[in-house]
């Protein structure tokens, strides 16, 4: 079998998760290393399709520590180190009294970009949201 990315599955041998493609453990099969992760560093799922898991892992890359539903997301192929930049996402939405209410949220670049994209998708579907702005407020250590 040729080298391939470890395909997360719900198949196990004892406490070792088996690859969905070759049915071998990560160490047994010809698996391409997905990423070299730094200890004590948070990583996020870049696909935005993180079904059934937290999209965040800390510590070294150990495929067997993933949860049973992780195979539903393609993030194993491209984990992205979560940035430490701080960004302010703001938008306006209708309040109960028919006026517009301003909403603000501060978060990492990754999380605020994902939420901004979600807000823009809601707008394109006819939701009454306006004034979506994303502004960097701190450089962090990235």
pLDDT at 52: 39
124 — phi, psi (to 5°)?
Answer: -65, -20
More confident residue, 97 or 33: 97
pLDDT at 22: 93
Q: Is 36 in contact with 24 (CB distance < 8 Å)?
A: no
Inform me whether the pLDDT recorded for 130 exceeds 60. yes
pLDDT at 108: 78
**Is the pTM above the cut of 0.75?**
no
pLDDT digits (tens, 9 = 90+) for 11-56: 889 888 888 889 998 889 888 765 555 554 555 555 554 443 444 5
Q: How many CB atoms lie within 10 A of CB 25?
A: 19
More confident residue, 76 or 10: 10
pLDDT digits (tens, 9 = 90+) for 63-87: 555 555 454 454 544 444 556 678 9
């Amino acid at each position: 079998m040729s080298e391939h990315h470890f395909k997360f599955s719900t198949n196990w041998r004892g406490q070792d998760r088996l690859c969905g493609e070759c049915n071998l453990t990560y160490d047994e099969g010809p698996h391409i290393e997905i990423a070299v992760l730094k200890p004590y560093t948070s990583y996020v799922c870049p696909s935005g399709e993180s079904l059934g898991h937290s999209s965040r892992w800390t510590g070294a890359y150990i495929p067997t520590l993933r949860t049973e539903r992780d195979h539903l997301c393609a993030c194993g192929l491209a984990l992205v180190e979560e940035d430490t930049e701080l960004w302010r996402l703001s938008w306006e939405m209708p309040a109960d009294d028919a006026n517009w209410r301003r909403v603000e949220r501060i978060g990492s670049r990754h999380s605020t970009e994902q939420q901004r994209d979600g807000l823009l998708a809601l707008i394109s579907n006819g939701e009454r949201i306006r004034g979506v702005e994303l502004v960097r407020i701190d450089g962090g250590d990235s």
